Amino acid sequence: MKTKKIILFASGSGSNVENIANYFKLRNDVTICCVLTNKSDAKVIDRCNRLGLNALYFNRQAFSKSDFILNMLRSLEPDLIVLAGFLWKIPEAITQSFPNKIINIHPALLPKYGGKGMYGMNVHNAVKEHNEQETGITIHYVNANYDEGAIIKQVNVELLPNDSPEDIAAKVHQLEYEYFPKVIDNLLSSL
């Protein structure tokens, strides 16, 4: 049986990266090739060092103004590219080279609260400001536009009137940790 290869992209602390790594760590049929980050001081690098994962920092030049990252991705031949808290828009050359192989998790029920600048606490603050009664996660394919790719799975959670944006974030993180690795696993199984 062929080992399925995942490449992860992250911009922040890497809690989803660690959760995904822990989910697959005892599996011989799935390997995380590397974790790519656009921030040289991202905490995800520390997590990768602790978890024994290869981490690579890249700048905007390597990502969107040259074919460096595209060529690296092609050479690694990933079965799935997972955006786990990655904040830059994926260049069209990459989305076209890996159709239906790049997925993202968004901390709201798209199409609500998506688009440029809508990430992390920006999303949770907007959900609170609009007095939403529910929010959740959306796992979707990545295309040329922010948060507009085909939806793979959505999971919602009820909100209480007195939930703060931090409470909302905690509820959403629980959904991310529970469902994101399972969706990745299901997608890999169907390849």
Active-site positions? 106
Angstrom distance (rounded) from CA 123 to CA 126? 5
Q: How far apart are CA 53 and CA 29, in angstroms?
A: 16
Q: Are strands 134-141 and 102-106 parallel, antiparallel or unpaired?
A: antiparallel
User: Is the CB of residue 8 less than 8 Å from the CB of residue 33?
Assistant: no
CA distance 80 to 102: 6
- Here the tokens at position 57 are 């920092």
CA-to-CA distance for 65 and 158, rounded, in angstroms?
A: 42
CA separation, residue 92 to residues 28, 69, 99, 143, 144 (Å): 32, 12, 10, 8, 5
Pairwise CA distance, residues 37 & 6, whole Å: 15
- The whole-angstrom separation of Cα 185 and Cα 46 is 25
